[in-house]
Structure 1
Amino acid sequence: MLAALRGVLERNISPSRLNDFLACSLRFYFSKVARFHENDAVEETLEASSFGTMVHEALENLMQPFAQDARSITADDIPELIRQAPAEVQKALRQEETEKHARADEGLNHVYGQVATRLVVRLLESLTEQPGLLPIRLFGLEKELAATIFVDVPGQPEPLAVRLFGFADRVDEMPDGRLRVVDYKSGLVKRNDLQLRGYRDRLTPAEATERLLLEASSSADKVRQLWLYRLMLAHTAQRETAETAILSLRNIDEGLLSADLSFITDGGQEFVVASEELVRKIVLRILDPTEPIRKTDDFTKCEHCPYRGICAR
């Protein structure tokens, strides 16, 4: 078992899979060690997850020419992007219908397309409403990120090379040269969701760090993902990184929602050094032979789990 887990960590481990481990190590085992997969099914309509994918794809296609040509997105570009938005959403809708084997142009799918178009248009409009956001210089879209972190494992002669891996929806290059990860979320995210120290920093940096390493809440999952994106970006680009942020498609008017990660460097360490040490702690917990494989205690996490039939939840 431990050898299989080491193999998983050496091949590729994404932030979402680390979240799976903290939430339900049995689900992590099914997905990454046993490699059980859901059977593909023919869908009558697109599901909510497909709706989010449509919005992501439409935004990526609209912004891709700017990334390819190294052009900044300015306020003057927004009207034309808005004009193109309906066609790009329809293209993404047809792609999702094909991939999901859903019936084309059924009622609910049509509604998803209409709502997705309104969201994309509203997001583009909001770019001009956020002071100092434009122009946006894109460093990458669906940017592949990775980092290799060496972990000394008790009883092993050589350090374990753990490879973090993932894709960032968008990476912006800021005016000062630093890079910023922007992650799109189709669900509702509020600013307070990304503050692990709580209201008015009521928790100490050590307590916030403990939440980052151990907690399986929705808030901790989001912050952990943004933290690891920032760490991987620093490794991938070999440049200084700035804030990481979520753009909630159900809370667009709030603009970019930043995760406050200052507690990580409270001890005076540089961000990458401190973060690598925290990743090592998570890895050692995964490889701890005394750590049991367990089911989550939060039954709400079982509702959409693809393995609920196997574990009899």
Structure 2
Amino acid sequence: MVSKSSPADASGENRLSLIQDPNTTEPAPAAIPPEPDDHGPVGLETISPSRAGDFKQCPLLFRFRAIDRLPEPVTPALARGTTAHLALERLFDLDAAERTPERLFDLFRQEWTKLRLTDEYANLFADREEERQWGIDSLRVVANYLEMEDPTGFDPVEREMMISEDLGKVVVRGILDRLDETPDGKLVIVDYKTGSGPPERYAIPAFFALKTYAMLVRRRLGRTPVELRLLYLGSSSVYSIEVDHNTIEGVERHILALVDAIRNALANDHFPPRPSVLCRWCAFQHLCPEGQAYAKPEPALPLVEPEPPSATKTNETLA
């Protein structure tokens, strides 16, 4: 069962008064190494939790991303997510007392200043005003994080943890946002999302990748995480589920079954679409007629205006 909470905003107005123009003039960063998701399947020697989730969601989506390597548009939402992840990672480099709203906002500005000079993000905005408004909106989203957790009260065990484990059939690897340890020594996996939380009926599939990371953590550390948390900064929503040994065993079997299915799809070049409500947000919708059809909004019922009283009366008379 998914547990959802939405912390009340106790001091958001004060934090938002700290928001300023995110643009500065720091030099561009060094080249960023590719993440594990950038490695393709070829013979499927390796797979990431994200790509496994793609195949589970829609085999055609998996093909577009992992085999065809089709480019996806860089969007303001993607820029916000990347920048926020970098800022939140650096926040915990600071001493606990320094993890203030001001410092978090400064870290966001610093990270965006570097990213905006890279080829990927250089032409994202039409003009400075559009970028400035994006920065203000982004800092509002980042401010929501401080409603959801008190970063001065704990130190994560790991941040941006690169983890890789050989399951025999395949190597599973990825980057985990954060691994925490509770005061009584239990492990908790945390993942940041800068969008808004989905309706609860759609929340369970969002935990698939985190369950896979829980399996990797248990293999690496010999300890089973007890809780998975999704922090949706866009809506200040925290979704969480409890996991145990049986959950992890089931996930490992599921991953191995997915690997068999992917290899079968590769052998037969068969990656059928699996239309769902998620098609509405798919970057490859223009390449998928099934997805286009599913994503179309249902036509509104035509409005039938009542006949004017005079016409009604005339008809009654003629009858």
Shorter-normalised TM range? 0.5 to 0.7
Report the CA distance shift for 1:247/1:274 in structure 2 as closer, same or farther (over 3 A).
same
Per-residue CA deviations over 1:29-58 (Å, capped at 9, x if unaligned) read: 23323x43328x8x8xx6211112222221
Answer whether contact 2:165 2:172 (CA < 8 A) is retained: yes
Indicate yes or no: 2:214 matched with 1:180.
Answer: no
Q: Quote the Cα distance in structure 2 between the aligned partners of 1:36 and 1:311.
A: 19
Q: Quote the Cα distance in structure 1 between the aligned partners of 2:274 and 2:248.
A: 31
Aligned equivalent of 2:229: 245
Report the CA distance shift for 1:219/1:291 in structure 2 as closer, same or farther (over 3 A).
farther
Q: TM-score, normalised by structure 1?
A: 0.67
- Structure 2: gaps of 5 or more residues: 1-39, 293-319
Indicate yes or no: 2:88 matched with 1:36.
Answer: no
Q: Quote the Cα distance in structure 2 between the aligned partners of 1:48 and 1:242.
A: 31
Deviation at 1:294, TM superposition (A): 0.6
Measured on the aligned residues, the alpha-carbon RMSD in Å equals 3.2
Answer whether contact 2:230 2:239 (CA < 8 A) is retained: yes
Answer whether contact 1:17 1:28 (CA < 8 A) is retained: yes
Deviation at 1:24, TM superposition (A): 2.5
Deviation at 1:278, TM superposition (A): 2.6
Deviation at 1:103, TM superposition (A): 6.6
Deviation at 1:124, TM superposition (A): 2.3
Q: Secondary structure at the match of 2:65?
A: helix
Indicate yes or no: 2:301 matched with 1:301.
Answer: no
When structure 1 is superposed on structure 2, of 115-124 and 88-97 the one drifting more is 115-124
Answer whether contact 1:26 1:294 (CA < 8 A) is retained: yes
Per-residue CA deviations over 1:172-211 (Å, capped at 9, x if unaligned) read: 1222222211000111115835xxxxxxxxxxxxxxxxxx
Aligned equivalent of 1:57: 86
Report the CA distance shift for 1:299/1:279 in structure 2 as closer, same or farther (over 3 A).
closer
Q: Quote the Cα distance in structure 2 between the aligned partners of 1:113 and 1:297.
A: 34
Q: TM-score, normalised by structure 2?
A: 0.66
Q: Percent identity?
A: 21
When structure 1 is superposed on structure 2, of 95-104 and 17-26 the one drifting more is 95-104
Matches within 5 A, 1:67-146: 73=96, 77=97, 80-99=99-118, 100-102=121-123, 106-128=128-150, 135-146=153-164
Answer whether contact 2:56 2:258 (CA < 8 A) is retained: no
| Pick aligned residue for 2:252 from 266, 273, 276 | 276
Greater helix content: 1
- Structure 1: gaps of 5 or more residues: 67-72, 151-159, 194-217, 266-270
Report the CA distance shift for 1:272/1:309 in structure 2 as closer, same or farther (over 3 A).
closer
